Each structure stands twice: as C-alpha cells, then as structure tokens.
Chain A
Amino acid sequence: AQTVTQSQPEMSVQEAETVTLSCTYDTSESDYYLFWYKQPPSRQMILVIRQEAYKQQNATENRFSVNFQKAAKSFSLKISDSQLGDAAMYFCALGGNYKLTFGKGTLLTVNP
C-alpha cells in the first residue's frame, strides 16, 4: 500500500518570505510520480509542481521548487517570495498509473 504523510497540519508565512512544506511517502513501486496540489477556498485542485521519481534533478516552477530525497522518501515543497494568493490547502500526492494517494494536507496562511 502507498502512504503519504504531511506532518504539518498548518503553516504560516509572512508575505515575501520563504516557507517549506514537508511530505514523506512510502511505496513499493520503483516507478512513480510525486505531486504538490493546491486547493484554495474555491476547492478547485490546482497542480503546483510534479516530480518523476526517476529524475534526480529537483523540479522547479517559478517560485515553487521541491527537495526530492528518494532514499529518504521525502518530497518537500519550497515556496519563495510568498504571495497572498498562495494561501491555500496544499496536498502532497503520490501516483502511478494516474491513481493518486493524497496526504492529509497542510493549510498555509500568508500574512501581509
């Protein structure tokens, strides 16, 4: 069975500062994908960033980057220059064959 653990139920950050959200996972698969999704109050799930497990290079999307430690099964998300619009629930997800297992989420608050 696959599991995803987000140990931080809530986090807060000052606008323009940097914040890191943690995620660990467990899987017996050798080929898998990792994702961070954002769910704002509208409840629409939005893909933030994606990492293929076979790639050693950490994925980056503008202000969002990940620290993927495959041996440690860790996949953290760093948000730089935080903006008010980044406030949302963030879910870490593990997937293969399009089936996703989600963590419990981290509620991020951005303070002006």
Chain B
Amino acid sequence: GAVVSQHPSRVICKSGTSVKIECRSLDFQATTMFWYRQFPKKSLMLMATSNEGSKATYEQGVEKDKFLINHASLTLSTLTVTSAHPEDSSFYICSARDVGQGAYGANVLTFGAGSRLTVL
C-alpha cells in the first residue's frame, strides 16, 4: 500500500534556529500534501496544503513566513519552521494524496508517522 515517510521523527533545536521536516511519498506520486499540527492530547489542525510546483495554501491564522512549505517534486514536500521558539514545539504530521488511486481512492490520504519538534 501507499507509504509516506516523514523525517526526522524527533528533533530538538535551540530557540532562534530553523528546522526542516521532510515528507516523502515512497511508492506513489503526490501532487498534493497536507501539513497538520497536533498538540499533546489534542486534535490535528490543518496548517497548509502543499501543491507540487506552486505556492502552498495556508489556513487562517498560520504564519506563512514562520512555516515555509516547499513542494518541489511529486514525491517530496518540506516544512521549514523558521526562527523556532518554544511555542512552536509540537507534533507535525504530513499526509499525501495518491493521484493514481482514482475514484476508489477518492479522498483517502496516507499519513506520515509524524515529527516531534522540541524547541529549547
């Protein structure tokens, strides 16, 4: 089945530094990927929609300059948390849509295993 790899699974950084998280579709092409943020024991909140070859679409309240998204190929989207601060500490999850699934796979997303960011 479809697999999405997310790396790193855990990252600890100092306040003020930038951190990049990668999301790769391993065995399918993904024109669209989604980035979510999950606080402890909370739900997933959609941050942005990453579109291959074009600018990401951010949800209301999400800072574009803080969370940079790049989707340069059909198998890779990256989320860069710029000038990270302790309040950016969270669990970040990506998901991807398999364009090859057609009608049967309509609206079914494959999720990565997530990345836990801790900013000291």
Q: Residues of A at under 8 Å CB distance from B?
A: 33, 42-47, 50, 91, 95-105
User: Would A104 and B42 count as touching, CB distance under 8 A?
Assistant: yes
Which residue on chain B has the smallest CB distance to residue A93?
B44
Complex Cα spacing A46 to B32, Å: 19
Residues of B in contact (CB 8 Å), total 21
User: Would A99 and B42 count as touching, CB distance under 8 A?
Assistant: no
User: Would A99 and B114 count as touching, CB distance under 8 A?
Assistant: no
Chain B residues with Cβ under 8 A from A44's Cβ?
A: 111, 113-114
Chain B residues with Cβ under 8 A from A46's Cβ?
A: 111
Chain A residues with Cβ under 8 A from B111's Cβ?
A: 44-46
Confirm or deny: B97 has a beta carbon within 8 angstroms of a beta carbon on chain A: yes
Q: Which of B93-117 contact A (CB under 8 A)?
A: 93, 95, 97, 106-109, 111, 113-114
User: Would A103 and B113 count as touching, CB distance under 8 A?
Assistant: no
Set A50, A104, A105: member contacting B108, Cβ < 8 A? A50
Interface centre among A96, A98, A99, by most chain B C-beta atoms within 10 angstroms, is A98
For the complex formed, measure the closest distance between the CB of A39 and the CB atoms of chain B, giving whole angstroms. Answer: 9
Confirm or deny: B91 has a beta carbon within 8 angstroms of a beta carbon on chain A: yes
Set B41, B46, B91: member contacting A99, Cβ < 8 A? B46
In order of increasing CB-CB distance, the 10 nearest A-B pairs are A45-B111, A33-B107, A102-B43, A102-B44, A104-B43, A43-B114, A44-B113, A98-B97, A95-B107, A98-B107
For the complex formed, measure the closest distance between the CB of A84 and the CB atoms of chain B, giving whole angstroms. Answer: 21
